[in-house]
Structure 1
Amino acid sequence: MDYKAAMRDIHKGNIQPIYVCYGTEKYRMDEFVQYLTQKLIDEEHRDFALSKYDLGEVPIDTVIDEAQTLPFLVPRKLIIVRDPSLFIAGGKESAKIEHRVENLIAYLNSPAEYSVIVFIAQGEKLDERKKVVKAVKEKGALISFMPLSAEELLQWVAKQAEQHACSLAPGVAELLVNYAGTHLQTLSAEINKLSLYVGQGGMIDQETVKSLVVRNTEQNIFALIEEIANLRVDRALSIMYDLLKQREEPIKILALIARQFRIMLQVKELTRQSYSQQQIASQVGLHPYVVKLAGEQARKFEGERLASILSSIAELDYEMKTGKKEKVLGLELFLLRLAV
């Protein structure tokens, strides 16, 4: 089931006895759990109608016993369960805890009407071979929380601003993601800060983002390479000097530059093989928006040029680590050569 469809069903009062939330977007999982909690349990009853368990610490039988115990003074209770192993492919089971999964399957066939169980399983894939996964597909609801596409991420940013009664000037959503990265928790915090600054009904413009949002090291490296790709060496060097002032190690800066060029080469090659943006993101383990930006940068370089740059980085890394070349000077010369 898709996240939005599950939210619509809950809004209509169609509540499933068991939900399995899986994927890598923990922020949206937390949003879903919060929404379900608000719909099921009044705030004053949450101390005794809301339970939380971790299957790394307790057996599944404890959760089932809780679900089968009548709620106290409320018509329904909610049980949140962190699951590191039951549903996810490659999940690590605790050697100390024995989970009798057959009891959970039996419970699924006859769930308590007064209990709702939500499993939080962080991981990219469900283990489709497991009987419990098949059972939940038939009797409960599996909800995927994978990274938003590049377009969906920008829409999400705009919607978050709307919820704070603010609007975004053209290009601000892209700029904010370029500055703050793709983590929803971070973006949400930045949007909240920007909204407080411009006030209710205000517009967040590019200058406001540049003034209030601090780029992390990885975002600075991305910006540095963008400047190089556009032959703006002075700006690229300025970003590098800023990083050095922040006490970033030259070898770390070089490693992050290498990572970005490696991503660009991978994206370029997979694009050549007709992979979609989403497929590339899954293949290289990156957010789709990062893949989109890397693809845009990669178009400014030939594949052979990217491979040659990576080879030069490897050589410089060796020289810096063995003391054959002074680190800051090595970085400066490398960036100057890139723009030639």
Structure 2
Amino acid sequence: MAGGTRRGGGRGRGRPRRTVCAALVAGALVLPLSAAAQPRIPAPAPAASAPATAAALDEAYAAHRAGAAEAARMAAAHGDHHRAAADRALAAPARQLLAFDGRGAGRATEVLGDLARARHVAVLVPGSDTGLDTYGRFRAAAVALYDRLRARAPEGTRVAVVAWLGYETPGTVSGAVATTGRAERAAPRLRALVRQLRGITGPRAHLSLLCHSYGSVVCARAAAGLDVGDIALVGSPGTGADRAADLRSPARLWAARGTGDWVEHVPHVRARLFGTTVGFGTDPVSGRFGARVFAAGDGGHSDYFAPGSRSLANLARIALGETAEVSRA
């Protein structure tokens, strides 16, 4: 998509991009048919309502840990020991689960830190190929950010990170990853999470959304009027909007891409094919989009939260509201 922002492209450039888009749409039709033949992993229905107040947090954490423990037992009985291990890890006594659903690919919302008293709360929104089976790598990103926030925050300032696997992410090799369908279904869930967090933290906390890859499409769909201070898009294929102003968000909007990220080579176009809109339009790190572009170093698509990386340092500054300290690209 990055090529879509360059001038003087000529008429011939549109054909390969449309060919790529058409192939992705065809994949969207074929891959779900093969996936439908795979057996579903059994799991209990998720625990009822999540808390809207700080006082209910411990009760909610315990209820969702119990759900994860039961899901682990059911997955083991089904013969899926990999999923059972993932569920069992989430059920450990130290884990703080704000939500858990072991059905299908699975969903979970985990809190790192003291959410009720946090001054700064960062919500991580993952991209494609993230589910309970791959949750460990997503959590590792959350842990790296949490450690960086604690190290950088002024003494006595509490911080928290919320790892939000709250939607069914698309597969990287699928048509769904090239359309906004999953993001549009996920956006109301993300908006509900932000309302829930505000009920717990009150208006004093600084909330930020840190959105990776396809997660940036989710954040863009949820952004209008959302009560957060900052939204950062990293490794984004686009948002579905032509300009940052089109998101109608009161938040500061940031964007970054590592020099080793393959997303740079995905065409930043949007086209109507077979009755479906494919692609996400303007590159968020382009001047035309209008986001605050920050430095992400030379990492690849999965390196934005790598400990010691330039991108993680800048994301921590954004999450702490230290906007003047963010190094620009």
TM norm. shorter chain > 0.5:
no
Question: TM-score, structure 2 length as denominator?
Answer: 0.26
Length-normalised TM-score, structure 1: 0.26
